[in-house]
Amino acid sequence: MAEQSSPAKQSRLDYLDNLRSFALLLGLAFHVAIVYAAIIIYPLRNDDRSIAFDVFGEWVHLFRMPMFFVLSGYFTERIYLSKTLKEFLKLRALRIILPLIPGIILFAPMQYYVNALQEGYQGNYFKFLWEEFLLKNPAPSHLWFILYLALYTFLYLGVRPVASRIGTFILPSSRYGEEGSTTRSSVKWETLLIAGIWCTIWTCCINYFFLKDEKYLNIEPVQFIYDFSFFLFGSFLIGKENTILKGKIDRFEIILLGFLSFLFFGLFYWVSTIDPYWSYFGYTGFGMRILHIFLKCLGGWIWIAFFIRLFQVFFNKTSKLSSYLRESSLPVYLIHHPISLGVGFLVVSTGLSIWIKFSLHIFLVYAVTFLVYHYIIRDSNFWLTVLGNKGISFKRNK
């Protein structure tokens, strides 16, 4: 650990905070789009569907949550190094664990209720909430990532002594630290390749034993390990930020990252049609599944690096708007799902065309969710605490 620099001496990277908010708020668009997708299965589905929404959904899925977990892993390690263990656990409890249980009770059941209605359930929502959800199978719905983060916090504390050694071994500071990464332009690309291989190895190992959609106590082993590999690698980047998270901005590098991002997504999407991820490992051959996962992992990392560079160029300042979005992103994401399903249930029943439905649906979801946040949650210490903003009321400037 002597090789790692102290996070307390590092300046705040505003664009990473803005990027994390972007990753959360993009989830609203994702959940609207998959209502109209042809292949992606979702409790609420429009009768008229388009493959364009499947492509959008796969694109978002490729980088959004991996990016969120990379940043979570990085900031988790940064907080751990700058706080006592008691302070660290308190912050994690307020930010992650506290909103988990009330979030599941208040915001998760709507997805399962809509699904039950489509299967012929006749009871009202409150009867379903008690008899079918709370008593039988309370599940996190769109809050699964908070459940995973809560588990990652305790898992990380257990594996951190070993993980930090692994991180130092695969990313030695002599080459990937602040000094080495500024003198060798190739280390950025090397780091992306190492990150892609790292995540590929862990995902292949778990996928060999478990199918993608297998679930135990609301945990999907393949998704859990896949996301944890991104989380862990994010923690490896302390003291090596110039490899991916910051550093000199090269416009040619941004253009090249953009080109590679679309190239890898196209290759990933093509391979995923040949080797469906829900199938068992080796369904179309071990080599094809390994290639599939490699394109998924490395493609995700390239998109992450691309967005980091874009935000470093265009969203590297703190303004009233960026502060508002950073403060609102987690509460807005937590509460949006029942709103999206409720609005969508009404919109899909209309006779409008699919694109008008989608446009109306996405506009209403963002508008209604932010209105609820702004007028009910924003100035309430109670709701901010319940929704993970640590009880700090971000009041409007008067």
Q: Digits of tens for pLDDT over the chain (398 positions)?
A: 334 444 445 566 789 999 999 999 999 999 999 999 999 888 888 999 999 999 999 999 999 999 999 999 999 999 999 888 888 888 888 788 888 888 888 888 888 888 888 788 888 888 998 888 888 888 888 889 889 999 998 899 999 999 999 999 999 988 888 765 555 678 889 999 999 999 999 999 999 999 998 999 889 999 999 999 999 999 999 999 989 998 888 888 899 999 999 999 999 999 999 999 999 998 999 999 999 999 999 999 999 999 999 999 988 888 888 899 999 999 999 999 999 999 998 999 999 999 999 999 999 999 999 999 999 999 888 888 888 776 444 444 44
Q: Is residue 138 part of a domain?
A: no
Q: Give the Cα separation of 258 and 246 in Å (integer).
A: 17
Q: Is residue 151 part of a domain?
A: no
Q: Which residues pair with 216 in a beta bridge?
A: 219
Q: Is residue 370 part of a domain?
A: yes
Q: Is residue 244 part of a domain?
A: no
Q: Is residue 30 part of a domain?
A: yes
pTM of the predicted model, to two decimals? 0.91
Which domain range does residue 25 map to? 12-49+320-393
Q: Give the Cα separation of 361 and 367 in Å (integer).
A: 10
Q: Is residue 389 part of a domain?
A: yes
Q: Is residue 7 part of a domain?
A: no
Q: Is residue 327 part of a domain?
A: yes
The contacts of residue 262 (CB under 8 Å, 6+ apart) are: none
Number of Cβ within 10 Å of residue 368's Cβ equals: 16
Domains held by the chain: number: 1
Structure tokens at 257: 């990252």
